[in-house]
């Protein structure tokens, strides 16, 4: 059992811009179930206060305040607390000037100018919470650049402070592309000695890089899939920090995110035309397919394979490969496309054009719709995820559950969750989807052709692939077990090192 304080800038249901919020929303209660003593600490943004009220969660004033030097000012904040579902204690750092804003990190595509200052304050407040609230903590679990300064602060200041000597840190990196990089004068905000501003610590090509500091000083580091943990040690994926990551690879691992099956299970999904499960899926799935074809304006035909895609229309997601293939196939191949997404204006207009030209074959809904995302997961026959890179990815795990074999590029979490339908894997009844290896159109095309051939001509094998995926368990409890073990091992290692000193 570990006493852990999870420090994060986002957590469902309070504040969300990305997958970080899903992880920090689902993981705490699962960790508590395993017997860990779990606290979650997050800024008290406007949206946090609103979400707390909407969910009937009372944010109580602890009466404890904190005064933190940030640059040349002393910034005061207070700690709120709440009992969260699943035996988790929530702590909220209330500092209205920093956190009572319409958005988390910026507005109209522009970051807030004081983001460094805001998260230096938050990171210091997390550490001060231990003292102010008299918390007993074995490990602080930091997430992404916003809380990546904490391990550095421990190394520089807190390790020799009473009550902090044995606190271990874990840094989870959810996406290497966001590093908290600021100009060098922001070092003054951190309150750290300038000796930390060198290429072995927080300095990166003349700038301050908060994530880099976390990588250097955390006692353990993980990313959200084992493959991504390896990939980020290479130039193609490390976003410039591959060298530092390689140096620390003895404490670097990967733990897959989980699926919130309360929301993503075809057996209980209220958005679907029919519910189904692994033991009896054919009729239910057929009803969902007809419903999807009708809603999206595709020809209602049970025999044409429907290929689905849901996601951000961004380069990362490989949407330009999909668009190229749609163009190439639209005259000849007998498949339908059901696309849902928003993002790059160029990709949006390209998809809109294609669906206008071939309305019965190509349907593109350029919107954010949770309901449609569920309908596409259930009503498609095959789910496309040709991402260039993918730290973990959720949609492929949803589609496995929904009996919609995913077709993915062999990268990150996609590689770790999908077993390619080779003849050997089919014979061994291990296949759950389709994987292509070279990131180009011809690899995607030949893999999709293979999938369509299986669907059309080898329906028994196809059904085995569907059933195998539906029966898998990618739940959060799996991930929580892995985190729990990593916490325990890291906390024990740090205690041992400190006690020897």
Residues that bind ligand ADP (CB under 6 A): 18-19, 310-312, 340-342, 368-370, 373, 393-395
State in angstroms the smallest separation of the CB of 345 from ligand ADP. Answer: 15
CA distance 108 to 104: 12
Residue among 95 and 432 whose Cβ is closer to ligand ADP? 432
Residue among 34 and 273 whose Cβ is closer to ligand ADP? 273
State in angstroms the smallest separation of the CB of 371 from ligand ADP. Answer: 8
**Cβ(25)–Cβ(12) under 8 Å?**
yes
CA distance 188 to 63: 30
Please give the DSSP secondary-structure letter assigned to residue 267: T
Please give the DSSP secondary-structure letter assigned to residue 358: S
Task: Decide: helix, strand or coil at residue 56.
Answer: coil
Tokens representing 38 are: 């779990």
Residue among 71 and 343 whose Cβ is closer to ligand ADP? 343
State in angstroms the smallest separation of the CB of 394 from ligand ADP. Answer: 4
**Cβ(383)–Cβ(396) under 8 Å?**
yes
**Cβ(179)–Cβ(211) under 8 Å?**
yes
Task: Quickly list DSSP for 373-436.
Answer: HHHHHHH-SEEEE--S--SS-SHHHHHHHTT--EEEESSHHHHHH--B--HHHHHTT---BEEE
State in angstroms the smallest separation of the CB of 64 from ligand ADP. Answer: 35
Residue among 348 and 464 whose Cβ is closer to ligand ADP? 348
Residue among 18 and 191 whose Cβ is closer to ligand ADP? 18
State in angstroms the smallest separation of the CB of 167 from ligand ADP. Answer: 30
State in angstroms the smallest separation of the CB of 364 from ligand ADP. Answer: 11
Report the residue closest to ligand ADP, judged by CB. 373
CA distance 23 to 258: 8
Residue among 75 and 351 whose Cβ is closer to ligand ADP? 351
State in angstroms the smallest separation of the CB of 312 from ligand ADP. Answer: 5
Residue among 52 and 373 whose Cβ is closer to ligand ADP? 373
Residue among 123 and 179 whose Cβ is closer to ligand ADP? 179
State in angstroms the smallest separation of the CB of 137 from ligand ADP. Answer: 29
For 114, counting Cβ atoms within 10 Å of its Cβ (0-12 exposed, 13-18 middle, 19+ buried), the class is middle
CA distance 227 to 410: 9
CA distance 227 to 249: 13
State in angstroms the smallest separation of the CB of 419 from ligand ADP. Answer: 19
CA distance 385 to 490: 34
Task: Quickly list DSSP for 133-190.
Answer: TT---SEEEEETGGGTHHHHHHHHTGGGSTTTTT-EEEEEES-TT---EE-GGGHHHH
Q: In what order do the strands lie in the sheet with 73-84?
A: 60-70, 73-84, 88-94, 37-43, 3-7, 139-143, 168-173, 220-223, 252-254
State in angstroms the smallest separation of the CB of 391 from ligand ADP. Answer: 7
Q: What is the 3 state secondary structure string of 195-254?
A: HHCCCCCCEECCEEEHHHHHHHHCCEEEECCHHHHHHCCCCCCCCCCHHHHHHCHHHEEE
Residue among 38 and 319 whose Cβ is closer to ligand ADP? 319
Q: For residue 251, what are the contacts with CB-CB under 8 A and spacing of at least 6?
A: 218, 219, 220, 221, 490
Residue among 57 and 314 whose Cβ is closer to ligand ADP? 314
State in angstroms the smallest separation of the CB of 296 from ligand ADP. Answer: 13
Residue among 111 and 371 whose Cβ is closer to ligand ADP? 371
């Amino acid at each position: 059992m570990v006493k852990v304080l999870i420090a994060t800038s986002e957590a469902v249901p309070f504040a969300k811009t990305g997958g970080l919020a899903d992880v920090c929303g689902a993981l705490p209660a699962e960790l508590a179930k395993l017997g860990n003593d779990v606290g979650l600490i997050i800024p008290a943004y406007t949206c946090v206060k609103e979400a707390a009220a909407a969910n009937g969660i009372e944010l109580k004033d602890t009466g404890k305040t904190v005064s933190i030097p940030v640059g040349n000012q002393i910034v005061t904040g207070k700690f709120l607390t709440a009992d969260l579902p699943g035996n988790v204690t929530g702590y909220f750092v209330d500092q209205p000037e920093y956190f009572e804003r319409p958005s988390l990190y910026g507005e109209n595509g522009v970051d807030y100018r004081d983001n460094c200052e805001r998260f230096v304050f938050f990171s210091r407040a997390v550490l001060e919470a231990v003292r102010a609230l008299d918390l007993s903590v074995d490990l602080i679990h930091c997430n992404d650049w916003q809380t990546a300064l904490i391990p550095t602060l421990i190394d520089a200041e807190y390790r020799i402070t009473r009550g902090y000597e044995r606190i271990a840190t874990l840094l989870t990196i959810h996406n290497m592309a966001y590093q908290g990089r600021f100009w060098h004068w922001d070092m003054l905000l951190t309150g750290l000695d300038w000796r930390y501003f060198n290429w072995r610590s927080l300095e990166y090509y003349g700038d301050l890089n908060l994530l880099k500091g976390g990588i250097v000083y955390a006692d353990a580091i993980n990313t959200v899939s084992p493959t991504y943990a390896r990939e980020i040690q290479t130039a193609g994926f490390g976003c410039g920090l591959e060298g530092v990551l390689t140096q620390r690879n003895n404490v670097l691992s990967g733990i897959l995110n989980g699926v919130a099956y309360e929301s993503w299970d075809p057996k209980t999904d209220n958005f679907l035309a029919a519910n189904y499960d692994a033991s009896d899926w054919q009729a239910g799935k057929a009803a969902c397919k007809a419903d999807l074809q009708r809603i999206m304006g595709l020809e209602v035909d049970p025999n044409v394979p429907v290929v689905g895609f849901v996601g951000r229309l961004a380069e990362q997601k490989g949407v330009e490969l999909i668009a190229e293939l749609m163009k190439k196939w639209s005259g000849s191949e007998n498949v339908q496309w059901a696309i849902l997404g928003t993002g790059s204006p160029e990709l949006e207009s390209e998809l809109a054009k294609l669906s206008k030209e071939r309305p019965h074959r190509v349907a593109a809904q350029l919107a954010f719709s949770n309901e449609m995302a569920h309908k596409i997961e259930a009503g498609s026959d095959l789910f496309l995820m040709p991402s260039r890179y993918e730290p973990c990815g959720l949609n492929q795990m949803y589609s496995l559950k929904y009996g919609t074999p995913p077709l993915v590029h062999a990268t990150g979490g996609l590689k770790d969750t999908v077993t390619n339908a080779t003849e050997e894997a089919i014979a061994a009844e291990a296949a759950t989807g389709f994987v292509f290896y070279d990131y180009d159109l011809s690899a995607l095309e030949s893999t999709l052709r293979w999938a369509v051939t299986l669907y059309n001509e080898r329906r028994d094998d196809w059904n085995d692939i569907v059933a195998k995926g539906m029966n898998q368990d990618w739940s959060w409890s799996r991930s929580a077990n892995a985190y729990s073990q990593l916490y325990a091992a890291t906390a024990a290692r740090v205690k041992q090192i400190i006690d020897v000193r």
